[in-house]
Chains A and B, each alone.
Chain A
Amino acid sequence: MLGYALRRLLIAIPLLVGITFVSFLVIHLAPGEPAEIQTGDLSIQSDKQMRERLREEYGLDKPLPVQYWNWVKRLSRLDFGKSFSPDARPVLQKIGERLPVTLLLNVVEMLLIIALSVPIGVLSATRQYSTFDKVTTVFVFVGFATPDFWFALLLIMLFGVQLDWLPISGLRQINWEYFSFWRQQWDFLSHLILPITVATFGGLAGFSRYMRQSMLEVIRQDYVQTARAKGLAERVVIGKHALRNALLPIVTILGLSLPGLIGGSIIVESIFAIPGMGQLMVQAVFERDYPVIMGNLVVVSTLTLVANLVADVTYSLVDPRIRVAGRRSRR
């Protein structure tokens, strides 16, 4: 098992190099350069001297392979470099200040999605074609098909403007500093309700359909029939024998959505004015802020690779069949 994990880790290294190299190439080949954008690319003061100076400072005057090599060298010392944005702050600091809120939003969203979609999926499967199944099917597909930004604006209009129950955007009230401790906590929480609702609603469809499908397959298996034949209560048959097996594919999907946790949703963050990773990335792309884009990519792709590995390993832990098959094929 350990050997397997180690081998997977070693394979991940060239993969990571490949990913970063291609990304590096692509963003540098995209038209528009940070030095040009900052000197006001079509402005009257467009200043050649300043552009050259910036290119030199950023190292953009060197050939691409050299730039990439320098970047890798710095990265190997865990130095992600400085942002090309005029505030020139370290990339890690920029990511660090944006990460917590995105992480918070996404973890809560993920938990909510699991908490809701597993029961929905199980119930729809065990009562296939019942009214409940039909209603939830319609419901989750409506959720799937509804554009995030539209749904978000509707919610804001209802709860923020008409009813005035919840704040519209941002993370804190303007005079938050002057609130009492508990009011501050509530204020912060109330700002998160709408964005989390929007994000959860959109994600519910996929998961609950997976769950339903997986459950449908499992309850047709012989061992479920056997369990029933033994005279076990339906609750035990479904809850213990069927559910455990039906959750297996969900583990894989969960693992794959781990990197999404730090990616941040651009749409939700923009509409609700939440200063998270999605906004940072968008701004970095507009400014052609290569160090921030690359830093973000490294973090996300590393996490994807790790998540893949973790998913595979846990999969083999929960499902002994995989492990056995794996061993057999290796011999």
Chain B
Amino acid sequence: MRPPRRPRPGSARGRACRLAAALALAAALGGCSGRTDGATEPAAGAEGYQPARGDTFVEALTGNISGLIPNVLSDSASFEVGGLLYNGLVTRDKNLNLIGDIAESWTFSRDCLELTLQLKKNVRWHDGRPFTADDAVFTYETMIDPRTPTAYREDFKAVASAVAQDPYTLRVRYKEPYAKALQTWETWMLPRHVLEPYARAGKLRDAPQNRASPVGTGPYLFREWRPGEKVVLVANPDYFQGRPYLSRIVYRIIPSQATIFLELKAKGVDMAGLTALQYSRQTDYPAFRKAYNKYRYPGNAYTYLGFNLKDPRFRDVRVRRALAHAIDKRQLIEFVIGGLGREATGPYKPGTWAYTADVRTYPYDLARARALLAEAGWKPDSEGILVKDGRPFQFELMTNQGNDERKRVAEIVQASLKELGVQVDIRVIEWASLLKEYIKKRRFDAIILGWGIGLDPDQFNIWHSSKTAPDELNFISYANPEVDRLLEDGRRSCVQADRTKYYRRLQEVLAEDQPLIFLYFRDALPVVSSRVKGITPAPAGIRHNFTEWFVPRHLQRYTAG
């Protein structure tokens, strides 16, 4: 349920995880209001049905999970499974606000430097031992330990100390005010009494708990993992927030999207993500509408056209603005994903607290584009090709292999810019070599890629001018002192009203500068079997209340178990 809270581009490898990612992202990052589609039941599905325990819920994952301790893993399938086995101290509600999970309440000191969390007293590990503040301290120590192979250390680096004041009080001190202080504690909590020897030795991945016997506090207990085949979880009768209704969760690993879709048709799986084509064309018949509820809400990743700002042609903001004017975003969304997405104006998702629509936009306008380019010195020659200093405007547009959507975006950009007299050559390159040979070495003109966005608006690592080393994320080499300042301030404040101000200004500047052309946010398109009730679409998507989903007794399909 808790995806990695950091921007990450989709990737070719990601194909295997795309579905899981879509679902996981949908869970935590709905954004705008989710809604059911077509003639399905109203959002409050529980109406008129008596909640009942039982039944098996079958979900399809396109990738094998890689382990059972998500803190040391990095694939979205493992996060999804881990989300039902573990809890954080805090979590997100349906409107994406932070609420207590294991924590009952918390207080910040006046200077924002000290955070005190009161923990619930009835939380137990799956082996029956009580959860105490000491386990939270252990989780912190493990995450910060250089021997722990985790990719989620960064947030914990701001912590100066974490101590268990008593078994149910955790006191955390920060080195400086840190905007993500509370969010850090969304991390899955790990049991000290089970994992300490492995963590000390830096061998968490080798621990039996990572392979066959995870011990968490979550709503589901681990039952079975057949590598490449399935993962089975069963309801935790002693869950501190009450036993979940669905008795058994089976994650089936089905690598082929086409097969998942056919399994859906045959009612072999209960939940899966659809492609735009499947959503709009292939599922629009009565039997399918009767068997499944379709949901649609903006996903948390946007696709963009990025420029190498070290290239003198793209360093000129007039050129970037001209190109933005030359791309018809609405038509692009229509062509590429059948209209199931929304235009992006900046790096934040519409509907989230940091987002503002009040920024400079670039409506489709070829005349404006031509004028801007002429201002920048690009004039058409006799054949209509733009030329400056005797050289034609021609660049290479790269994207990664295995993502047809991006390839189609590239093709539309190519066709659009041809109208202007700009020649674009498309190159599709395998993900790893694109990254190593072109992006890290800055050997690209322009790229079509995507950024996943986190729950927190902090995007320091993407836009700050200090983050331009080969391995860092500002690979377009963007530098703007005002942006730097806004990012630093936004990160240091713990007052949301101030942060809102900084991030709105950030969006204005980015929209003016167009360091990249923000194209669109695509919608997440999950379907869930209509026998499952209690699903309430919200800004956070649909998975936020998974433990409250149920199947009324007379509709239950799997009685055994």
Contact = CB atoms under 8 A, between A and B. Distances in A.
Contacts of B459: 44
A44 B473 contact: yes
Interface core residue of B63, B152, B211, B263 (most chain A CB under 10 Å): B263
Interface residues of B, number: 66
Given A41-B435, A45-B154, A275-B229, A53 B146 contact: yes
Contacts of A32: 431-433, 435-436
B206 A94 contact: no
Contact of B74 (A30, A86, A94, A280): A86
Given A38-B151, A169-B254, A175-B558, A280 B228 contact: yes
Contacts of B147: 53
A46 interface: yes
Interface string A73-103: 0000000000001111100001001100000
Contacts of B263: 168-169
Nearest to B155: A45
Interface in B248-284: 250, 252-256, 258-259, 262-263, 265-266, 268
B268 A169 contact: yes
A44 B454 contact: yes
B262 to A, nearest CB: 5
Interface string A160-171: 110010011111
A50 B8 contact: no
A168 B268 contact: yes
A153 to B, nearest CB: 6
A157 interface: yes
Contacts of B74: 38-40, 43, 86
Given A32-B436, A86-B67, A49 B146 contact: yes
Contacts of A39: 74, 151
Contacts of A279: 64, 228, 255
B250 A40 contact: no
B487 to A, nearest CB: 13
A182 interface: no
Given A88-B205, A161-B266, A45 B433 contact: no
Contacts of A48: 471
Nearest to B458: A44
A171 B436 contact: no
B419 interface: no
A178 interface: yes
Interface string B427-444: 000111101110100000
A286 interface: yes
Contact of B66 (A85, A174, A178, A275): A85
A130 interface: no
A37 interface: yes
Interface string B1-44: 00010111101010010000000000000000000000000000
Contact of B151 (A30, A31, A43, A164): A43
Interface core residue of A47, A174, A276, A279 (most chain B CB under 10 Å): A174
A40 B560 contact: no
Contact of B266 (A41, A164, A286): A164
Q: Chain A, interface size: which category?
A: 35 or more
A272 B259 contact: yes
A237 to B, nearest CB: 49
Contact of A38 (B7, B64, B149, B435): B149
B138 to A, nearest CB: 19
B72 interface: yes
Contact of B558 (A30, A164, A167, A174): A174
Contact of A174 (B58, B254, B435): B58
Nearest to B66: A86
Contact of A273 (B67, B227, B256): B256
Nearest to A267: B256
A273 B252 contact: yes
A89 B211 contact: yes
A45 B152 contact: yes
A57 B201 CA distance: 12
A161 B256 contact: no
Interface in A259-286: 270-273, 275-276, 279-280, 283, 286
Interface core residue of A46, A85, A175, A273 (most chain B CB under 10 Å): A273
Nearest to B252: A170
Nearest to B12: A286
B226 interface: yes
Contacts of B150: 47, 50
Contacts of B210: 86-88
B561 interface: yes
A155 B286 CA distance: 23
B205 A87 contact: yes
A177 interface: yes
Interface in A34-69: 37-50, 53-54, 57
Given A53-B147, A286-B13, A87 B67 contact: yes
Nearest to B560: A178
Nearest to A178: B560
B462 interface: yes
B413 interface: no
Contacts of B58: 174
A98 B149 CA distance: 27
Contacts of B436: 31-32
28 contacts: A32-B432, A32-B433, A38-B149, A40-B6, A41-B11, A42-B9, A42-B439, A45-B4, A45-B154, A49-B153, A57-B149, A86-B78, A86-B149, A86-B210, A87-B210, A88-B206, A88-B210, A94-B227, A168-B259, A168-B266, A169-B263, A170-B252, A174-B252, A273-B253, A273-B259, A275-B227, A275-B228, A286-B16
Given A50-B146, A50-B149, A94-B227, 18 more contacts: A32-B432, A38-B149, A39-B74, A42-B8, A44-B459, A44-B462, A45-B151, A47-B151, A57-B149, A86-B73, A87-B67, A87-B210, A88-B210, A149-B258, A169-B252, A170-B230, A170-B254, A273-B252
Interface of A: 30-32, 37-50, 53-54, 57, 85-89, 94, 97-98, 149, 153, 156-157, 160-161, 164, 167-172, 174-175, 177-178, 270-273, 275-276, 279-280, 283, 286-288
